[in-house]
Structure 1
Amino acid sequence: MNAGIASRRLLFLGMKYAPIGVFDSGYGGLTILKEIVKYLPQYDYVYLGDNARAPYGNRSFETVYRYTLQCVEWFFAQGCPLVVLACNTASAKALRTIQQNDLPLIAPDRRVLGVIRPTTEVIGNYSVTRRVGIMATAGTVNSGSYTIEINKFYPDIQVFQEACPMWVPLVENNEHNGQGADYFIQKNLQHLLGQGAGIDTILLACTHYPLLANKIMQYLPAGIKLLSQGEIVARSLVHYLERHPEIANRISYSKLRKFCTTDDAIDFEQKASIFYGESVAAERIEL
């Protein structure tokens, strides 16, 4: 549905346009949005990819925090009562500061959620050996966020991490099904599994990586579970809204899907379908 038509429809019905905001530094968060929409199709959504400043993974904590806060404030200006940081780097480097320091001052009645906590809350349900592998960007690995959060919920789990810097470029250049992907997947898997015997669960802790899942499974030893975040985050959001009707009741529901980028809209449209699974119409915005 066209954004302008949907907004006028909501006004006609006496409802305020108040979508769920979904944020990523680029395209990967579309894999999260896809799953959220599958579980909660009734709501309005606005997606923002900060493509002009991507990638976030190699930037400092301060820079990621500053960029993410600017985007969160943009979402609030669109009327979003709830924003999901569908970006592991932003969740690792900016979420806690925004929740604790900024929201009480700029929007105490709104909420910002991330993708790390929902995943770490349940990962212990999948591991028998209590040895878990994390495959992520260098920024997420260096933050230590997954190790810290998993140990909060499951102190008995040992965490092994592997940074996979080539995986995002492979996906964004639509080479994730090519032979070049095989080399890097094998290399990173061997390095991760070589860190410690007994790893029985591997989490793909980057929203780009689910597109490599079929390739990864070709080289994954039997008995090791491979987890993607999308479905886990979507189920967690369902439960969150059930527990917080004061937020759920403020979200508008005309099934509007709006896609925005800080970079070229046509380029975004061409690549977005790889992640979202269907074509989208995008709008370029200024922060």
Structure 2
Amino acid sequence: MNSAWTRRAALAAICSSAALLAACGSGSVAGAITPARFISVGDGFADVGQNGYRFTVNDGTNNWTQELASHYGLTLTAASSGGWSYAQGDARVDTVDTTSGTNAPSVKDQIDTLLARVTFADDDIVLVGGGIADIVNAVSTTGISSDTTATVSAAGTALGAQVRRLVTAGAQHVVIAGVYNLGISPWARNMGQGSAVESLTTAFNDALLVSIVDLGANVLYVDPALFFNLVYNKKIKMDNVNDPVCTTPDATTCNTGTLLAGVDYTKYLFADQLYLTPAAQRLFSTDTFDQNAYTKLKQRW
């Protein structure tokens, strides 16, 4: 089979799946659910403090998952404190974390724990994410290479398998967030690999979408890559989209006392080399801006 034709066919499938999962039923079921509970699994993008700290400026304000829940008058707290957010920084999709020092449970392991605890209700919203640590670790292990692309794509497919597990277990409303474009991160740009890491992000998200294309009845895809590309390129609500605002080695030890002097950290996109500030995260769940998660959710369900 001609490789160019194969690529075009794959892209068509991806575009179709993204459109279906982002908009399926949006004209007929909007407002059909009033969520009673938000549940979350994922990585540092969604971590609300499983280990007592977050992967952002630790200022006590909402991240995007909490902001999304707040629109419905709900809260989302760490499972380690009795809440329903299992997301933990450094978690990979289905691979054991052996590099962070925290032994972060994979998204698969988080779902194992969740399914042992919960019976899903029709008014639950289950938020799923992952992939950041998979991409970072793949680059660290095999550099920018075809092997890395294959590893990252496999992780995207594996995340789709975890979404399928949730639907099979009875979750009626699953919101899956892809990986934001890590190519715009200081981590990637400082390596001089912004374009290559953007391609890896795309590979992950494309594999994820293809793997869940048939789950449109129960799954909504929200797109941090598209959203934060808009924020980055247009500097939406952000004065600095290039530099980390934290002075600590990473955001887990960053708070309002460890920021660059004399700056407004709510106008910075990045907390550290990889993770976003709380203000940037909340934009993703603020319906003032295009392509945000809250608008996608309320239009769909």
Normalization by structure 2: what TM-score? 0.40
Higher relative contact order (CA 8 A, sep 6+): 1
Which one has a larger percent strand, Structure 1 or Structure 2?
Answer: 1
